[in-house]
Structure formats: C-alpha cells, structure tokens
Amino acid sequence: MPSERPQSIQYISVLRILAIYAVVTAHVAIWLTMATRPFVVHWWLGCWLFYLGHFSIPVFVMISGALLLDDARRESAGQFYRRRMVRVGVPLAVWTVVYLLVRRFVDGESLSAGSVGQLILTGDPYYHLWFLYMIFGLYLITPALRTFVRCAGRGQRWLVIVLGLVLANAYFQTDVLLWDNQRSIFTMFIPFIPFYLCGYEIRLIDPKKVPTRYLVLAVVLSVLYFTVFSGVFLERAGGVGVRYLFDFFSLPMVFFSIGVFWAAYLWDAESAAGGPLQGIRRTALEWVASTVMGIYVLHPLVLIVMRETLGRRAGAGANDDSPAIFLLGVTVVPLVTFVVCYLVTSLLMNIPFLKRAVC
C-alpha cells in the first residue's frame, strides 16, 4: 500500500463545516423553490442552490473514508465496531424516536406500528435521517473494505471507484425511468462505497500534481450530461427533486463533489509551508467542526420552529413569489439555523447524558 504523505488534516474540519452549511441551505432552498412558480428567475436560483448542495453528502462520505479506511492502527473488526457503532448508533436510535414523535405530534401524521416499521426500513423517520442509516451501513463493511484497500493495488482501487460510480449513476437513472423503487436501509449504503473509497485514495496523491486534462474532461462530460437530460427536466416543469439531475451520482455532481474535496486538500497542502492554523483560529475551527453531527440532526427542528414563528415564510416557504422574500429566505434562514443549531449542540455536548446524541 502506498505510504501516506505527511500532512495536517485541518481541511477535514473545513469540509465538514462547508458541507453541513450546504445541507441546511439546500433544505431551505428546496422548500422555497417548491412554493415558487416554475421557471421564474428565483425559481432557477433555488433549483441550482438545491442541486449544488448535493455535494455535501458525498463529501461527508469521502471524509469518513479518508479517516476510517486507513488501517494503520490495525484494529480488529470487533474493536472497530465497539468504537464506531456506538458513536453512530446512539444518535441514530435517539433521533429516530425524536422525529417519529415530530411526525406524530407536530406534523399530525397518523402512525401505526406498520407505518413506523416501514419508515425505519426505508430510512425515512424524517427526510434527513436516511444519511445516518446509510453511514451505519458503510461502517458495517469498513473492516472488509480496509482489507481490500490494504491488499489491492492503486489501479485496482481506482477501477472499483470508477466502475462503482458509473454503475450507481446508471442504476439511479434507470430506476427513475422504469422502476421507482423505494430505498431500503439494507442497500442504500452500497452506491456510496465508491465515494467512501475515493476519500481514502485522494489522501494518497499529491494534490498539486493532478493533470489539467482531468478537469477539462470533467467539464466536458458535465456539459454533455446536462445537455442530454435538460429536455426531460423542462418537460417535467423542472421537476424539483426529480433525480435526472438532482441525485448524488449524476456525472456533474460526482465531479463537483470530488472537486470540492480535492480543492480543500490542495488548500491544506499549499498552506502547509506556513504551518497549520494555531491558537484561537484552530480552536474555533475544530470546535465548530465537532458540532456538525448535532447541526445535522437538529436543523429540521429549528426550521419547523422558524416556519411557525415567521408565519411559514421561512423553510417551507410562503405563497409570496417575491424575489426579495426568496433571496432573504435562502440567505438569512440558513445562517440563523446554522447558528442556533451550533449553540444548542454546544450546550448539549456539555451535558454527559445527552452528549452522545449529537457527537
């Protein structure tokens, strides 16, 4: 296995903060866009904000791969599961219960034992919790993937990554066209395995030596992809949420996600000469990054409160098609939500009984 180049990993903290802010912004953008007339200027803005925000999930997965697939500690599968499964399992269980209660008593849904079971099996106790179920699945197979990356050559690993991403894109587009399958907690993690491996592989390269032709190829393929699917997108009146364009495995999003991760890695490498951040800036960066899990699980609750308080002008949006209201929503609401979630998470992290639910 190629030896890893010495480096700081402060770019991991930067990526975590950037990705969680993109998640919050994307959720605000989609609600506002769904309440807006199709094809007006701010409707297009909302679509693009929602779509661009999709990079956050692949980046989170690549971060996990970069940190967890390196088997330098040579821990056994049992040791790994004891350390990691509790860390993701406790928030998964706690917030599944919390958001099922939100569905019942806030959203007013009538839940039976059967419907609760279905929501859990599809990873949908609430619209954002599928990510925790997916990460849990990736953690389950991490010991096996560590063996793979240790024994396989670099060319073999990149072949698996490229083939995996191509097949994931082909499956999701075919599913939209023909099947419209419901996702399952038993399989939803599988398409993300290539991103998981990719995060590990990027850490083994020199980010300053990536050939320019790769960037040109990514741009060309992305333009072709948008050209091919733009007709279907327009025929469906934009179809906000339609996975022709709005999924994690479309070619433009694959390239964009990897590009964001690589850019942060390059920044880390180029800033290494001056030394990593120190003092209060380093402390602030690391502390905010440590609250990302809490911000992720809490932000729908904050958005619910804001919608009620502001007369549903934030988050799910009002019927007002005003561009000014829209712009205010996609700029101010994510910022306020992020800050509130950060403060609440920071408080919970100092309460021993509740700490495990948010970090």
Q: In sequence order, what DSSP letters do the residues of 180-205 get, joined into one string?
A: -PPP-TTTTTGGGHHHHHHHHHHTTS
Lowest mean per-residue pLDDT among 135-149, 186-200, 257-271: 257-271
Residue 73 has pLDDT above 80, yes or no: no
Helix (H, G, I), strand (E, B) or coil at 168: helix
How confident is the model at residue 131, as a pLDDT?
96
| DSSP symbol at 310 | T
Of the pLDDT bands very low, low, confident and very high (cuts 50, 70, 90), residue 273 is low
Neighbours of 76 (CB within 10 A): 9
Residue 5 has pLDDT above 50, yes or no: no
pTM metric for this prediction: 0.90
- Model confidence over 184-243: pLDDT tens digits? 999 999 999 999 999 999 988 887 887 778 888 888 988 888 888 777 777 766 554 454
Question: pLDDT averaged over the chain?
Answer: 85
Task: Evaluate whether 261 touches 199 at the Cβ level (below 8 Å).
Answer: yes
How confident is the model at residue 318, as a pLDDT?
44
Read off the amino acid at residue 68. Answer: L
Token pair, residue 73, equals 């500690």
Question: In the chain, count of helices (H) and strands (E)?
Answer: 14, 0
Lowest mean per-residue pLDDT among 137-141, 166-170, 355-359: 355-359
Instruction: Delimit the domains of the chain by residue range.
Output: 10-273
Neighbours of 237 (CB within 10 A): 11
Read off the amino acid at residue 314. Answer: A
How confident is the model at residue 54, as a pLDDT?
92
Token pair, residue 331, equals 């700029």
How confident is the model at residue 340, as a pLDDT?
96
How confident is the model at residue 314, as a pLDDT?
43
How confident is the model at residue 321, as a pLDDT?
64
Any residues with CB less than 8 A from the CB of 149 and at least 6 apart, and which? 1, 69, 71, 157, 197, 200
